[in-house]
Structure 1
């Protein structure tokens, strides 16, 4: 049975395969000229007419309108659910492939399903760190949302693009998109739900909208709090496997229901983790900008409790410990800060990268200000932790740039001028400034 092309193509193909004339298909209820207009794409049949034509052509209304049989449609819906589960709880690379397959199966006749699959694929590309292809995919979808608002909502795309552009180092584009998203949520107004928390996380990770953006972040934290999280991964995967088994047994309806249950089961944990991420960023920003340290300590503590429930969130847990260490140090709790920094460094997730280097910097600051420990040794450990691999200019790393800058500041305080200059150079390199540094003497002002 033909399934490609428009509704008109399918009507004409089925009519010809049944050796019917336009007048025979029209019967006593329609005119043959009206059938001709439908076949040429100049008219779209109403639901009543579509049912009538489907009956005379010996096909389902679903096939006539969408080019897909009910069983095919539910199988495609099931494929979307399983790809979403792969995205949320499995391998984003596999998810990208599955979403791509659904796009091909759905085709233009099933524009809504195809749009959802394209959005899922773009999210999977982002999770893989493939920012270039992800941005391209999101931008294409955003143009589609303008042309077909009934298929796609613009707001989730603007949030996703702002986040991607931030991470790619295009701050101006990220700022424009974030401002647009803020204006949209202000109209609703929206502070609850996954989309609001996703926007808050985007703004808190790298504040690009100034006080307006951070005010929204604070509002989202105020109305949602940092929720208690329960790790239900075993239950999610059991439901997922049951859905796969139902699909293998050709019970697609049950398989869809079980997949929906698996997705819903993970929603509370996803919300809690996102809010914990927002809280961590907020606490870090409070230390930098002289905000309420009591509030920062509360947020960082709650975030750490959430992340500790999920083994796959070990990196975020360590980050929350280091942020809390910085809060404790700013509050004058030197012993508490040292203990937290050492705890972070003692975990497998706290032995490399910017988070581990920051923990060493906390210990260096304690040694400098309070004479507790070896400041130079802590600084050298931070430098080793950051490594010596060159940074890709196409992917600036703001967090690494911040760590190298702070490392340069502290090397300056201990009088290690060569190490200070080298650290500032690395800060510029991490920020994506490399060729421009040839022949330049880097000083503290430039590094900032």
Structure 2
């Protein structure tokens, strides 16, 4: 945080670090020209104005007037960074507790810090899978952003809510929020950075049933602009910087501790962006191959790049296995059942024989067997059914991935002439998509589970 120079220097430095315009800082109480005069040193704010500016800039009046940073504030700033590191590279439940503690410590005099701590806690709740609580937290933050745009930006909150509603099964609300965010992003001509990538990740899920939608056009644009960047595993370096920051804090060198924590966060950012873009690329490939709107070579290169990102991180074994299944499906479309089977087997070897990814791998193996006519298809299908059955007790919320797998299982049982199992699989697809008490024998509408 800047502490040198004049009051105007500090006001301008803080405003720019918060990415606020002069008009946003002025709010309804001041004029942006008055803020400009303060920043240029031509006016000195009165105590009342100084308190008002300090609140909007997220600092104390003492710091704004004198350039002095109280110890409690810098400790709170450090706590925010350590909680962020816990969220990104540690335990999200611990991060949620730490963010909650910061909310209490920050108090009303540090409204900006408190708002960012509440945002961190909402993200930590989402990371734990506590989606209902995360939605409530994000909705409260969005109301706060509407009342105090100098504290929080609405756009990232809208994107986060779209993602959470999608995970909760409320696809209509997710779509509406993503569509609103898309209009804002298009107005800003934003195609790079975390907001653009997070929105693309939300859109590729919410717009899957709308192949000609502007949302999917935006996803295509994001992938074209950003690609799937290669990334080096710097996890050890991140944890080293994190521990050094903790040690510096224990030695009461708070300024160094903050700097080291910032370095750790920045070191992890390229991998986080690469993970998100890789996930978008895989979902895009899965969706596009079904629509037949892109060449095999284009999709395979994209999916291979995504798979390569996850392959370099042992903690991303589930994502890596899922990427192998996507590549296997592409091989099936390219009429290469042997290549598809090899990739699906590698996915099972990577992750194990249970779970949604394993069920999809078994489905690929069954399709490969049907193409080759080797007589193993029914055995493969029954194994996939067992994997999906095991998920029934684990996942009580609607799950479109599981629904898609059940639908595909039904299709394959139909190709094998097993009509009773086909009907049962279709019924289970509807249940997994959140549709209950359907008529036995009803055919699944693919848009429900796509």
Give how far 1:393 is off.
9.0
- Aligned residue in 2 for 1:442: 441
2:346 equivalent among 318, 343, 346: 343
Give how far 1:230 is off.
0.4
Matches within 5 A, 1:109-258: 109-207=109-207, 210=211, 211-258=213-260
- Aligned residue in 1 for 2:289: 287
Corresponding position: 1:299 with 2:298: no
Structure 1 pair 376/394, CA: closer, same or farther in 2 (3 Å)? Answer: closer
Structure 1 pair 280/49, CA: closer, same or farther in 2 (3 Å)? Answer: closer
Paired residues of 1:391 and 1:429 also in contact (CA < 8 A): no
Corresponding position: 1:75 with 2:75: yes
- Aligned residue in 2 for 1:30: none
Give how far 1:50 is off.
11
Structure 2, unaligned runs of 5 or more: 1-45, 55-59
Structure 1 pair 370/195, CA: closer, same or farther in 2 (3 Å)? Answer: same
2:334 equivalent among 315, 331, 336: 331
- Aligned residue in 2 for 1:55: none
TM-score for both structures, normalised by structure 1: 0.83
Larger Rg: 1
Paired residues of 1:80 and 1:102 also in contact (CA < 8 A): yes
Give how far 1:289 is off.
0.9
Corresponding position: 1:318 with 2:321: yes
TM-score for both structures, normalised by structure 2: 0.83
- Aligned residue in 1 for 2:376: 374
Structure 1 pair 48/62, CA: closer, same or farther in 2 (3 Å)? Answer: closer
Give how far 1:387 is off.
2.4
Give how far 1:188 is off.
0.9
Q: Give, in whole Å, the separation in 1 of the partners of 2:254 and 2:323.
A: 43
Structure 1 pair 303/190, CA: closer, same or farther in 2 (3 Å)? Answer: same
Paired residues of 2:407 and 2:444 also in contact (CA < 8 A): no
Q: Give, in whole Å, the separation in 1 of the partners of 2:359 and 2:52.
A: 68
Paired residues of 1:322 and 1:355 also in contact (CA < 8 A): yes
Give how far 1:383 is off.
0.7
- Aligned residue in 2 for 1:5: none
Corresponding position: 1:399 with 2:385: no
- 1:32-73: CA deviation from partner (whole Å, max 9, x where unpaired): xxxxxxxxxxx961339999xxxxxxxx943899xx961110
- 1:335-386: CA deviation from partner (whole Å, max 9, x where unpaired): 2111111111122x24222221111111111222221351100100101111
Paired residues of 1:409 and 1:444 also in contact (CA < 8 A): no
Structure 1, unaligned runs of 5 or more: 1-42, 52-59
Q: Give, in whole Å, the separation in 1 of the partners of 2:361 and 2:381.
A: 10
Q: Give, in whole Å, the separation in 2 of the partners of 1:128 and 1:225.
A: 28
Provide the alpha-carbon RMSD of the alignment: 2.4
